[in-house]
Chain A
């Protein structure tokens, strides 16, 4: 929902909001020449005796707020190249909003290790780059970026940028540290008397501020932050320190910076931005009427409108971002006319369509991301996505509804995700905290939780047949729920026939050689599930031993898929997604053959999930059943070993081979039923 950008100092910026300042400060046109004293001082610090390619000597932000709420920011950044390959770090960038923010000065310097004359770069040496990706049609969010591409080992690079953010919401988020060690990080905020900056450490230990005697200058400092090791499935952002800042004006101050004491304050502030955008038009009315024409059942109407909003293309168009600071959707009528939008655009359009069809709904803002959760004790900007909260009319109920003290029964829906149907939510949003944007007094709302089998469920049955040549034929039926079902729909819609076949070949090739697959057939099932049927064959199966035995494993789809973690100390938490994977595989035994000994059944339980796997012989068929269930969790580093052990046990239990005796054996040797 909210466009963000990261400065060279590794900082997440939120688009800020403020009215245009009454008086702009005169632009500073400093001539970049000799490096400033702070940079010379940084360069004199002895290098760290480590192997990192570079070290950040300074990452400093100084924010000055005046009585009108104008935000003036000075960023200073310095880095030293330590080893070959570190040259790429001699760069800096600062995000800004075109036509809203004003860059007053941008200078950079390169101090050669040889002591030769430093190189100074002026404003005109910086590039002005649009913050775009493949889904961006237009943006006025930009970076001022500079790279010193002549740097060498030992050089120190530094930069200083001064920017006025005319439209700011009095809020910001910053990170400190990361892949490089940070010698000194600093955030300083100067406010008028009576104002107060508040920060919340979203990640990393809290740092107490140093406050000037007049209470106007607040400073937080970090020193010697080690480099962060890249770890599997670690929360984002990876930086060890992540802090949210908000400026609190005194009550009654005439400023556009909102005073945010409660979540209701923040919801009202958002409402003022969003509500005017939920307009209507003849096209909206006509579309709502057309989509619901002939439908009597309210659920069917909701489904039709929700599906329509989902089908609008996800395309970002950020115009006048400064005025809306990334929170304000485009007009619903404009989004419908164009046929595309981002998350808040689509949620806003859906609200307009629902309104025309007689339903009440609201935009709800949420936070998605690996291991990220909204901190409920800190009302302010922590969100990055917008969904829709629908007030269910009387007589319409749904298992995923929640009862809200203000809005009554609510059903949440994400119109941005193109393949998760009404009644479900993308798994990243399950159980998260949402803020419903409404003028009515409200706090955070917990989104419904879903069981692993609903969130990421897969129930597969495979019927195998041995063929005389030593190969195999199989029929697979997979019933998916939640995210796998969404992926199935996406594949059915977007993938070419070859890509669909290739997807299945890759899955089956974990365990079989010489595979051929037919075109898979898919269909929707009740409850938002998706069923796939596939016929396949393999040139060979199992391993024949001296013509007497056939060694087989029936974990065809899940072989070597259990996530494994290395045996080492963990610094960051592990974020695991929900998993529910049930499989039943049946192999009719060849005539006259028998299974002299079945593997032991396994049943493993952990606080993170459970696993069961067993082989049986039923009606002349070898039957393998397995279920793995993991619950979504963020596991602290000190419990990493427990998770690793559990998954290791699962992997070991999975690796089970059955020996089939191919020659006729007496009935006494035949095992049947479940063996424990």
Chain B
């Protein structure tokens, strides 16, 4: 009798005896003995079908990737003693360039799970076969976790001194270095999760199924001997972004099958992974654990109970709310005052330092209640949102908490199976004029009535018992508030250098993004950031006298001022001077360059308006020779994108003046299907053409141009180091 066959009755014994032995002890015994019993449970390789032996790339993507997963099969089996997770892949190498990747097999195991088997088999195109057993894999204990911070935080510090996530406790690796086109690589792994990990578990797991290589055929199944009978398991399977998927039920097993899953490719302006990447959602509730939702109604009920416990106003809150709204004429005015109070009088430690004298450890922060936060005058974004709801209720407004998807995702959670998995951010809902409005005062830089761009377009679920109420927060391109204006006044020299000053005013989303990006930064770091941003567009730019006006009142714009000198701004063609009038975009590049077919939708972060007003005083002795203005770009109707331009030459002042406005995402159009890529690319090329449009100056009659660059530079002279720019206080 093999060891493999011995292990089965051993496991069954624990199941049969479970009525007499305390469950916890059983779990422990199973944890200890399970891996031992399964150590030699060798995998029985299947015969490879003929169509796999001679497989050719089925899609252009497969050719592109250089390899293809012909078969991916995952199965989760449940029993009273745990979950067995089996994973099998069969991959064919089409091209040598993919051989190294395919040949590196890396299995990550998170404790307390145990890898009980991993094997690999190579089948050459000439029919020869090589097998690798578990002992051939290199095993490294990546992390032996302590009970301290590392274990709880789940990260360590890498060689670059960055904190990195610890992805697994143990690594099993195999390097097969001699793969050739036509070789088939099969890998099998079996991981056991003991009952202790499973018991009391309820929720949904997201299982990423997309790989660096396309998958021709995928199956994912769950089931067991006891499943669906007396085990108490509740399970379900669903999927997202898996177009060819089907579900089957066979006996006690549920299975999702899918075909032709493309490889994942990063693309510019793609929506967040959650919205586009293929994954399977597995729902599991086990043991005696009753938590879990079967449907949106159950979730809404849970939400309502949670919200009620969190938003109940205390006596102190009622008193405070009365003081804040005293004299306010309308509910809207009351709400604004409460909102402003929460943002201005309670330090939001997700965004700013704690007030002097207040110290909160991580544990204390996690345990902080709205009442205590109000007392300390500080809280997290979530706590501040709860305080706002409580104060609104105390002020007599109809208010409650609502829940939405995490930032930046436009995934319609309401339409996704087990969509509550994605609902993880609290917002405040207040009914005004018989309409629910949504607020996030915890978002420190969002003024009343506005939300972060990441929160636009997301589905919100109102906490209302028994009747899930959905709302979709719109995407708003606020052409009044979401504006960035840049004003520049410059003088162009005969040598082509441009010198002047720039004032930038950021409001709406621009200000929110600025403040969010620079939170916690030192003034010198903010100055460096401005310098970097400008130099990204104009590499030779020299900035001076950089000043930032930001009183951290989110109803006020952020104003940036700086002196700008670009020594090589204009190009000289003999006696002529050629320059781009749109100073800050003079060297911009088109937004999109890739000529490859687009796979994913295009999503702009948010709608934006940029108004530029640039004045350039021309050098003495020169006049405009060729004065074409760039063409306006208007695709507002079909793409929400528009650029207007007014270019003037004022000979009396020898001045070029330009006013341009670039609008993107008008009418909330920030999401486009992949097939729109070519059209969008062309539009942005038109914009780029307009932004880099050049004008030509010629010497006035009788003027002798000055030489721009010496023919040969004089012998080098050692320069004294330059003083650093002053870093003013922000």
Contact = CB atoms under 8 A, between A and B. Distances in A.
A509 B594 CA distance: 9
A517 B144 CA distance: 51
B53 interface: no
Interface in B534-592: 535, 539-540, 542, 567-568, 570-576, 578, 587, 589-590
Which residue of A5, A567, A659 has the most chain B CB atoms within 10 A of its CB atom?
A567
B716 A642 contact: yes
Interface string B98-111: 00100000000000
Contact of A516 (B522, B595, B628): B595
Interface in A1-44: 5-6, 8, 10
B511 to A, nearest CB: 20
Given A150-B361, A566-B535, A502 B171 contact: no
A129 interface: yes
B593 A121 contact: no
A605 B163 CA distance: 45
A199 interface: no
A149 interface: yes
A549 B349 contact: no
A505 B157 CA distance: 37
A640 to B, nearest CB: 7
A146 interface: yes
B40 interface: no
B474 to A, nearest CB: 33
Interface stretch (B243-251, B320-328, B463-471, B703-711): B703-711
Contacts of B693: 543
Given A147-B148, A645-B719, A137 B138 contact: yes
B98 to A, nearest CB: 9
Contacts of A165: none
B159 A149 contact: no
A566 B627 CA distance: 33
B298 interface: no
Contact of B718 (A125, A132, A548, A638): A638
B482 to A, nearest CB: 28
B711 A127 contact: no
A350 interface: no
SS class of chain A's interface: helix, strand, loop or mixed? Answer: mixed
Contact of B573 (A124, A152, A659): A659
Given A132-B140, A601-B711, A605-B713, A657 B573 contact: yes
Given A51-B524, A315-B175, A570-B721, A600 B572 contact: yes
B398 interface: no
Interface string B346-357: 000100111000
B523 interface: yes
A484 interface: no
A204 B45 CA distance: 61
A498 B598 CA distance: 12
B149 A148 contact: yes
Which residue of B139, B359, B573, B717 has the most chain A CB atoms within 10 A of its CB atom?
B573
A457 B28 CA distance: 65
B647 to A, nearest CB: 13
Interface in B125-147: 138-147
A386 B146 CA distance: 36
A551 B587 CA distance: 16
A84 B444 CA distance: 15
B719 A496 contact: no
B143 A129 contact: yes
Contacts of A312: 177
B636 interface: no
Contacts of A53: 520
A146 B520 contact: no
Nearest to A148: B149
Interface stretch (B189-197, B288-296, B722-730): B722-730
A638 B565 CA distance: 23
B594 A505 contact: yes
A423 to B, nearest CB: 25
A88 interface: yes
Contacts of B708: 600, 652
A659 B712 contact: no
A510 B153 CA distance: 43
Contact of B694 (A116, A127, A543): A543
Contacts of B682: 514
B579 to A, nearest CB: 9
Nearest to A5: B159
Nearest to A110: B361
B659 interface: no
B19 interface: no
Nearest to B497: A652
Contacts of A6: 159, 161
Contacts of B147: 124-125
B576 A648 contact: no
SS class of chain B's interface: helix, strand, loop or mixed? Answer: loop
Contacts of A543: 693-694
B309 interface: no
Contacts of B689: 513, 540
B587 A560 contact: yes
A637 interface: yes
B88 interface: no
A542 to B, nearest CB: 10
B330 interface: no
A154 interface: yes
Which residue of B139, B567, B587, B595 has the most chain A CB atoms within 10 A of its CB atom?
B595
B150 A127 contact: yes
B336 interface: no
Interface string B612-644: 000000000000001110000000000000000
A145 B156 contact: yes
Given A152-B361, A603-B712, A607-B716, A515 B593 contact: yes
Contact of B576 (A8, A131, A178, A659): A659
Contacts of A313: 100, 175, 177
Contact of A127 (B148, B520, B589, B716): B148
A216 interface: no
B713 A502 contact: no
Interface in A74-91: 83-85, 88, 91
Given A152-B360, A564-B540, A657-B694, A125 B148 contact: yes
Contacts of B524: 51
Nearest to A540: B689
A388 B477 CA distance: 62
B596 interface: yes
Given A546-B628, A599-B574, A659-B576, A568 B150 contact: no
Interface string B647-673: 000000000000000000000000000
B255 interface: no
Contacts of A566: 531, 535, 542
Contacts of A105: none
Contact of B359 (A154, A509, A553): A154
Contacts of A412: none
A91 B149 contact: yes
Contacts of A529: none
A129 B166 contact: yes
B251 to A, nearest CB: 41
A375 interface: no
Given A127-B151, A138-B138, A313-B175, A496 B65 contact: yes
A227 B522 CA distance: 13
A139 interface: yes
Interface string A590-633: 00000011111111111100000000000000000000000000
A648 B150 contact: no
A406 interface: no
A497 to B, nearest CB: 7
7 contacts: A52-B522, A128-B141, A133-B159, A564-B539, A642-B719, A646-B713, A651-B540
Given A515-B595, A599-B571, 14 more contacts: A10-B161, A125-B148, A130-B140, A137-B175, A139-B140, A143-B157, A146-B149, A147-B155, A151-B361, A315-B175, A569-B722, A604-B709, A642-B716, A651-B568
